[in-house]
């Protein structure tokens, strides 16, 4: 007879809380049989934006998060560009990308070194997988000449929170990313220079770009160490039997990033496919491992957002029936969906159980079915490699090289060749690996963007804003990659004001609850059938495999939910599992 155990963990995330997960585990088979991910936090951005100028959304939506504000600024300003039909000059497109890329670099370092790999540090492994530790001390690190750590155990020590060498050095290098973003963004977090029709910086000089490049080379140097150390660590973890942890089907989505041809960017919705294809990170949707589309318009039209298992009302008018090209727009599309809170019982997994909604992608040109799609570095690297649109993609991998970077304090100065290969399946380990490689690929793309900026300056194309006439009505869709996956914004303007504004962070998709058909979201799907490797008796399990799976997506719930209920106060009776045992008594009520 099966003996089941319920394990509940809240909060799960290190960077931003408000995420809980409850799983059922078969103690005999040591397999997770069911899982529910939920967010008990509510915020108000989508409602706050109603009736405002669309341009204000660029500033306000960034406040979703202090870690990844720039993708919201990027997606928002693209959506507002379209709403206003305000196409920026090419140099503005490049500078926006350079600000965006600066954040991608530091955010990847945060994710890999400070948020995910500590689950594989000496501290964690000694506690939860002691047999790994003994093997790690005996296992030589293959890339020792790059990262300087002789054994896998040495890498694990370097990842110990607040004391390990890699952990601390990552915190220092991240400052360069903030400073890079501030050169053209005025500040970071929450940049001030993104405006419809361009970027608000009066004069652009070669000195600005030189300053940016100087800071970029610190990341070029450090990411070589990150990828080398991560590869050695994760290869070891796979060898310990971790391949089946966090597995799910390869249903993946990418919005793309970094415009190789800034002249192609346009505020015309009808031209979105063309500039999407020009991105160095390819946009697209993949279903069951097969590429379905690389067109951003296809991506947009297929989006659905369901609220049946979330704490929202499901009543709104179907106002937008077609996009600007005549494609049918569903009632559940964000151009129609409204954010109307309807608080419910906490911990009731048979009904609504999360403030996160359930975005799905409808294969509207194919079988018309709704698919649970995962977003993130693994998705965009996989889609870019498979698409073979960019020169670096081979169909099964992405190949690129980072140049020499002789900088004091960094261990490997020589040029370094990288090849990220499509894995057998999406799993916890490969999500972390893809994030490390995407950091390196971002550095590679930014070097190209620096060259492009200098070319435009040399050619005298120095304009960074173009005057436009604001229409009375309009619609827009903005899409760009945040570190955690695609960041998507939708705007509907009527009589010069926001009539409806909706946006999705990557965690909105990845942390989504069940949909109306009962399909679990990506977090939940990745947990179901995951084996438990944690040592010890089941009664003493803490759930390390659960948090490793969830953290492999690098969740950030601050961006994922947006609800505002005015002066109302809603109280829920917390179930016992919702309060960690370490919580002081004064905070338990």
Helix ranges (H only) for 313-427 are: 377-387
pLDDT of residue 40: 84
The CA distance from 308 to 356, in Å, is: 11
Pairing of strands 358-362, 303-306: antiparallel
pLDDT of residue 1: 62
Query: For residues 119 and 525, is the Cβ–Cβ distance under 8 A?
Result: no
Output DSSP code: residue 442.
H
CA distances from 479 to 79, 101, 313, 322, 431 (A): 8, 15, 26, 19, 21
Q: Which residue has the tokens 């160490």?
A: 225
pLDDT of residue 387: 98
Query: For residues 167 and 161, is the Cβ–Cβ distance under 8 A?
Result: yes
pLDDT of residue 563: 41
pLDDT of residue 567: 44
Enter the pTM of the model. 0.93
Output DSSP code: residue 583.
S
- pLDDT tens digit string along 345-363? 999 999 999 999 999 999 9
pLDDT of residue 11: 84
Domain boundaries, the chain: 4-587
Low-confidence ranges of the chain (pLDDT < 70): 1, 15-17, 557-589
pLDDT of residue 565: 37
Q: What is the 3-class SS of 284-309, one letter each residue?
A: EEEECCEEEECCHHHHHHHEEEECCC
> CB neighbours of 173 closer than 8 A, spacing ≥ 6?
106, 109, 218, 219, 222
The CA distance from 570 to 342, in Å, is: 10
The CA distance from 202 to 560, in Å, is: 34
- What is the secondary structure of 139-166 as a DSSP string? PBPTTHHHH--SBHHHHHHHTSTTTSHH
pLDDT of residue 203: 86
In degrees rounded to 5, what are phi and psi of residue 81?
-50, -50
The CA distance from 109 to 435, in Å, is: 9
Q: Class of the 4-587 domain?
A: mainly alpha
Query: For residues 334 and 326, is the Cβ–Cβ distance under 8 A?
Result: no
């Amino acid at each position: 007879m099966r003996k089941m155990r319920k394990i509940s963990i809240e909060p799960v995330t290190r960077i931003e809380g408000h995420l809980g997960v409850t799983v059922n585990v078969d103690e005999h088979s040591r397999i997770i049989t069911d899982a529910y991910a939920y967010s008990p936090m509510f915020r108000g951005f989508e409602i706050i934006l109603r009736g405002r100028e669309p341009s204000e959304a660029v500033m306000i939506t960034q406040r979703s998060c202090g870690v990844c504000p720039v993708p919201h600024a990027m997606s928002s300003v693209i959506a507002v560009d379209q709403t206003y039909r305000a196409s920026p000059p090419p140099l503005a497109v490049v500078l926006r990308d350079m600000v965006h890329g600066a954040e991608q670099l530091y955010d990847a370092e945060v994710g890999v070194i400070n948020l995910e790999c500590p689950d594989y540090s000496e501290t964690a492994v000694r506690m939860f997988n002691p047999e790994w530790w003994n093997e790690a001390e005996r296992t030589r690190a293959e890339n020792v000449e790059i990262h300087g750590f002789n054994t896998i155990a040495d890498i694990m020590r370097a990842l110990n929170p607040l004391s390990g060498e890699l952990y601390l050095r990552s915190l220092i290098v991240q400052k360069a990313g903030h400073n890079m973003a501030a050169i053209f963004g005025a500040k970071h977090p929450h940049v001030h220079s993104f405006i419809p029709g361009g970027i608000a910086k009066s004069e652009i000089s070669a000195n600005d770009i030189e300053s940016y490049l100087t800071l970029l080379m610190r990341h070029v140097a450090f990411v070589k160490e990150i990828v080398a150390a991560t590869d050695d660590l994760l290869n070891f973890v796979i060898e310990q039997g971790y391949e089946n942890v966090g597995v799910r089907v390869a249903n993946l989505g990418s919005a793309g990033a970094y415009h190789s041809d800034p002249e192609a960017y346009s505020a015309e919705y009808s031209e979105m496919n063309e500039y999407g294809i020009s991105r160095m990170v390819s946009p697209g949707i993949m279903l069951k491992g097969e590429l379905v589309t690389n067109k951003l318009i296809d991506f947009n039209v297929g989006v659905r957002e369901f609220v049946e298992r979330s704490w929202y009302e499901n009543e709104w008018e179907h106002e937008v029936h077609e996009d600007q090209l005549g494609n049918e727009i569903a009632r559940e599309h964000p151009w129609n969906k409204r954010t109307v809170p309807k608080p419910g019982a906490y911990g009731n997994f048979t009904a609504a159980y999360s403030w996160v909604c359930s975005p799905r992608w409808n294969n509207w040109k194919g079988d018309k079915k709704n698919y649970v799609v995962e977003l993130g570095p693994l998705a965009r690297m996989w889609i870019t490699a498979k698409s073979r649109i960019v020169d670096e993609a081979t169909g099964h991998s992405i190949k690129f090289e980072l140049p020499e970077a002789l900088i004091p304090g960094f261990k490997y100065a020589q040029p370094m060749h990288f090849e990220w290969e499509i894995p057998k399946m999406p799993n916890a380990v490969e999500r972390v690996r893809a994030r490390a490689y995407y950091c390196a690929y971002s550095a590679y793309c930014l070097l190209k963007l620096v060259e492009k900026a200098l070319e435009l300056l040399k050619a005298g194309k120095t304009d960074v804003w173009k005057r436009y006439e604001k229409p009375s009505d309009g619609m827009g869709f903005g899409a760009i990659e945040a570190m955690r996956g695609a960041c998507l914004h939708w705007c509907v303007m009527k009589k010069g004001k926001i009539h409806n504004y909706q946006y999705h962070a990557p965690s909105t998709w990845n942390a989504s609850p069940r949909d109306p058909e009962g399909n679990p979201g990506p977090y939940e799907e990745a947990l179901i059938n995951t084996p438990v490797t944690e040592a010890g008796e089941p009664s003493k399990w803490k759930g390390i495999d659960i948090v490793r799976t969830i953290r492999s997506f690098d969740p950030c719930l601050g961006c994922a939910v947006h609800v505002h209920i005015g002066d109302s106060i809603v109280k829920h009776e917390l179930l016992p599992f919702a309060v960690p045992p370490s919580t002081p008594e004064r905070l338990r009520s």
